[in-house]
Structure 1
Amino acid sequence: MTQVVFTPHTGLTQLPPLSLYVHFPWCVRKCPYCDFNSHEARAGFDDLAYVAALLRDLELALPAVWGRAVHTVFIGGGTPSLMSPAAMEMLLDGIRARVRLAPAAEITMEANPGTFEAEKFKAFRAAGVNRLSVGIQSFDDEALRRLGRIHDSRQAHVALDIALHHFDNVNLDLMYALPQQTLALALDDLSQGLAHGVTHLSAYHLTIEPNTLFSRYEPAGLPDEDRAADMQEALEARLAEAGFMHYETSAFARPERQCQHNLNYWRFGDYLGIGAGAHAKISSAEGIVREMRHKQPTAYLQALAAGDAVQTRQRVARSALPFEFMMNLLRLTEGFELALFAERTGLSLAAIQRELAQAESRGLIERSPTHVRPTLHGQRFLNDLLTLFLKDD
């Protein structure tokens, strides 16, 4: 791997909070809309051997974050709920032995219906997982079939019942603007999810991503932009009525139940990523470095055995920092305090004054002497807002 030469970047006066992301790359079946780094486990997998590799990856990464507390852990995938309780216990015990995990750290695991067993999830809770994110996507059997999901509506309800029996902090993932979906069907999905009493809900617009099966064979009956916008507005209104705060583009939470791990991403915090395809953002006095591990599980394990699982490592250019900061912070409906820009980037506010003025003049943000927040118009046209902060060089 090419070595990176760092130049001094002394503007950072303090390091941001640090999170840990752990990637589990296997799933039962690849969904046709999914562009995440997930691989069908046709030949099975050795989860204990993979966890041993994860912990070795963490050990090799420690010099870059030495002495810093880890405030949140997120175990994503793929489908991490395919792991055995023994592997989960080994993973979390190993993390605690290697980093200074905050006493009240939020530890999230992603799970999908079809992988739920009551005793297994009881064991995950005993191992230290304290938050679940359950990928339901829809409660409509026809919609689930069109999405290529391995579960049906009955399994979706059972999964949420099991999740909420063992965990008091549960996120539900739903999609809208699905093939042949009507506004009434989208609202029915939401009503069924809310009836379970989840503490957090993520509502995602189905998008056709490159290099997915849907990008090659687009499903029939996708709602047009106007119908999709109607669904989004209706879902947001129903969630507000139910007492959920809309705190990020696609995220809604009951009071004090925001996802702390994702908030750290969106506030331009630091995160160490271990596992196949995991990404990292690490700040230091020399600047901000981004890393990506090898994506294919076999390539990742081979590179790790050779002493370094990182495939790419580069310092973020100073000219790119305003866009990178805004790409995260402007997803938050509350916006951000202006002082955070200098704190997290090491740049002065002069670097973004012209762009802020343009955004304000176009009705995309509201600002005060101390605060910036996206308007509803800015939230709806976030890409247009972010484009203002792109630099040519």
Structure 2
Amino acid sequence: MSVHESQSSQRSANRARVVQALRQHGAMSRGALAEIGLSRSTVAGVVGELLDAGTVVEVADSPRRDRVTGRPPGLVALNGRLGAAVGVEIANGIVRVAVCTVARELLVHESAPADDTGSPAETLRIVDTLIDKLLAATGYERHQVIGAGVAMPGPIQRRTGLTGRACTLKPWVGLDARAVAAGALGLPVLADNDANLAALAELTWGAARGLRDYAYIYSATGIGAGFVLNGALYVGANGTAGEIGHTTINEDGLVCECGGRGCLNTLANPDAITRQLWQSHRRRPSIEEVIRLAHDGDAGCRRVLADAGTHIGVAMANMYNLLDPELIVLGGNLAAAGAIIIDPLRQSMMRRAIHAGEAVPAVVAGALDQEVVVVIGAAAAVLRDATRFPLPTA
């Protein structure tokens, strides 16, 4: 290779590093970009080339000041008109679609009802219609979509891509969700568990932004977890990491759908919580109503939520002893309970965690809208994955 070819190759590699940093972190100052391992002069040159090419744009200054110059740093970000990422959530009784620019700006999202027992083909037709509608609303063409992330309510086996039997949407069990969705939608697709993608959303835009090790607890039909270790999602060898809803809490407890006894799901998922109120309330309220009544002072509703927090805390203590996260974020349909469930959760965890004199991590409710945290996390996964979803040229 000639000197000229070598220099050209190095410039291309430097441009790719800067673009990938902006994909992962959003708008950054030139000083912050230098921290990815490039000199300030190299960053200045690369950013200049990317600005000329229309790949990046200058954005509003940050209120923070540069550590070297003391001036507020000018920020650069990817040009959002380069393309878009689509997020898709296939959940129990509903599908959601979101469209984000490659600059990580959420443009629009919408949901539609879906039949839990319907075929994947029927569900994906609803999704495809929503994608067309939202792209038309935002002015993007299909060819500008770099990819779609699809969130499923259950594990995706890492080796085979098949949806595991713990998925709460039974028509999808045993199917390659990525391949089925890619064929139906005509887009490059990744598929992952809903808790994993919600964890990625909070890491990208929410309560865990800037952290490298944290745990996200997601409550929907069941309870799952997403783990971020060393800045990346951890899914395990088979894709089933985080199935904490099937952690055994009481060996003599109720039989779970997985065949085990006393799983966390039988004690603390929304179904288990609302089931306990039949006798005291003469009916079975929804989990949203339970939380609202608890905030209004209903003693029975506060009791069952606190008990659920205690049970989740047992599972969290075991998780903490293994992984030692910086932060635990509670998301999904239990997050709105706030301190009613988080305080007993943390107390239960503290009684059991081996923290060697150090404080156990904070437990907080998710910062993002819990109705869309999964679907925007699915889009975030596409935005972060430069290998499978390269950006088009300006």
Q: TM-score, normalised by structure 2?
A: 0.28
Bigger strand fraction: 1
Structure of greater relative contact order (alpha carbons < 8 Å, 6+ residues apart) = 1
TM-score by length of 1: 0.29
Larger Rg: 2
